[in-house]
């Protein structure tokens, strides 16, 4: 189970997308956030450090069209601006709101754990201990989750950590943005769970056996301590 980043389906050796297809159209066709499509193109064809790509997305006027023509299918900065203008979730203007919502749902996750006396450490505590990258919570005691009957994986899953995602889990975003991060947690901490608070695509239910996907906090009677007694 490697953590290698999957090559986007719209990227080939002949460039990004089909001949004459604009970046925003590619994003619509493959159900991928337009800004993330633009970032992938910039990372591939603009000769700047990866961290500088974020600055180009925030300030597209700095993009030199000549650099974008390095793509086998030449483009210009107007296509990047179009992606920014049409993206309702990942555009820079939404960063602050998305961050605030993410924090809100992380706190909801903590509240749910504390309400039923499940001990854990949150990411700030883990960083103090020297963890470079951490899930939102690391459980002090592993917990067994029994998914709802509608879940394809109707078996007890023991998890060591939980991550909160205040978004819908779309396949493209999961595979290209989240999976590598989550598998890194698995490699260091063992199996875990991710709560996509706004749901996730059915096709993702059993993609990774060590990553349990949830669309809401589990119902009473579906959580168990290591000795198989239910968490009340």
CB of 37 closer than 8 Å to CB of 83:
yes
| 107 or 46, greater pLDDT | 107
pLDDT at 10: 53
8 A C-beta contact, residue 231 and residue 225: yes
Share of the chain above pLDDT 70, in %: 84
Higher pLDDT, 73 or 14: 73
Compute the Cα dihedral for 104, 106, 107, 113 and give only its sign. Answer: positive
CA distance 161 to 146: 15
Q: What does the mean pLDDT of the chain come to?
A: 83
Task: Give the model's pLDDT for residue 57.
Answer: 86
Q: What is the domain partition of the chain in residue ranges?
A: 11-90, 95-224
Closest CA to 71 of 18, 25, 15, 7: 15
Confidence of residue 215 (pLDDT cuts 50, 70, 90): very high
* Percent of all residues in the chain with a pLDDT value above 90, rounded to a whole number: 35
pLDDT digits (tens, 9 = 90+) for 82-140: 998 888 777 777 777 777 888 999 999 999 999 999 999 998 899 888 887 899 999 99
The whole-number pLDDT of residue 66 equals 63
Q: Is 191 exposed, middle or buried (0-12, 13-18, 19+ CB in 10 A)?
A: middle
Q: And the tokens for 221? A: 């009677």
At 106 the pLDDT is 95
- Which 3-state string (H, E, C) describes the chain? CCCCCCCCCCEECCEECCCCCCHHHHHHHHCCCHHHHHHHHHHHHCCCCHHHHHHHHHCHHHCCHHHHCCCCCCCCHHHHHHHHHHCCCCCHHHHHHHHHHHHHHHHHHHHHHHHCCCCEEEHHHHHHCCCCCCCCEEEEEEEEECCCCCCCCCCCEEEEEEEEECCCECHHHHHHHHHHHHHHHHHHHCCEEEEECCCECHHHCCCCCCEEEECCCCCCCCEECCCCCECC
User: In Å, how far from its chain's centre is CA 127?
Assistant: 20
- 115 vs 202: CA distance, rounded Å: 29
Q: Give me the mean pLDDT over the 196-220 stretch.
A: 90
- In the predicted model, is pLDDT for residue 210 greater than 90? yes
CB 73: neighbour CB atoms within 10 A? 17
pLDDT-derived band of residue 41, with 50, 70 and 90 as boundaries? confident
The better pLDDT of the pair 52, 74 is held by 52
Q: What is the pLDDT of residue 213?
A: 94
Per-residue pLDDT reduced to its tens digit, 4-27: 444 454 554 445 667 778 889 988
Instruction: Indicate if the pLDDT at residue 50 is higher than 80.
Output: no
Predicted local distance difference test score (pLDDT) of residue 125: 92
Q: How far apart are CA 7 and CA 198, in angstroms?
A: 26
């Amino acid at each position: 189970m490697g953590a290698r980043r999957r090559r986007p389906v719209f990227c080939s050796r002949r460039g990004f997308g089909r001949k004459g297809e604009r970046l925003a159209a590619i994003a619509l066709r493959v159900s991928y956030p337009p800004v993330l499509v633009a970032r992938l193109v910039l990372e591939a064809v603009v000769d700047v450090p990866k961290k500088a790509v974020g600055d180009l997305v925030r300030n597209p006027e700095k993009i030199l069209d000549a650099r974008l023509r390095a793509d086998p299918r030449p483009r210009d900065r107007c296509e990047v601006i179009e992606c920014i203008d049409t993206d309702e979730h990942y555009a820079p203007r939404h960063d602050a709101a998305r961050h605030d919502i993410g924090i809100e749902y992380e706190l909801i996750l903590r509240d749910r754990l504390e309400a039923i006396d499940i001990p854990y450490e949150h990411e700030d505590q883990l960083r103090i201990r020297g963890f470079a990258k951490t899930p939102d919570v690391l459980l002090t005691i592993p917990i067994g989750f029994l998914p709802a009957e509608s879940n394809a994986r109707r078996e007890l899953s023991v998890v060591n950590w939980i991550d909160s995602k205040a978004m819908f889990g779309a396949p493209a975003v999961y595979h290209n943005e989240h999976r590598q991060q989550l598998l890194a947690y698995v490699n260091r901490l063992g199996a875990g769970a991710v709560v996509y608070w706004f749901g996730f695509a059915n096709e993702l239910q059993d993609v990774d056996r060590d990553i349990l996907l949830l669309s809401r906090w589990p119902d009473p009677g579906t959580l168990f301590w290591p000795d198989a007694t239910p968490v009340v």
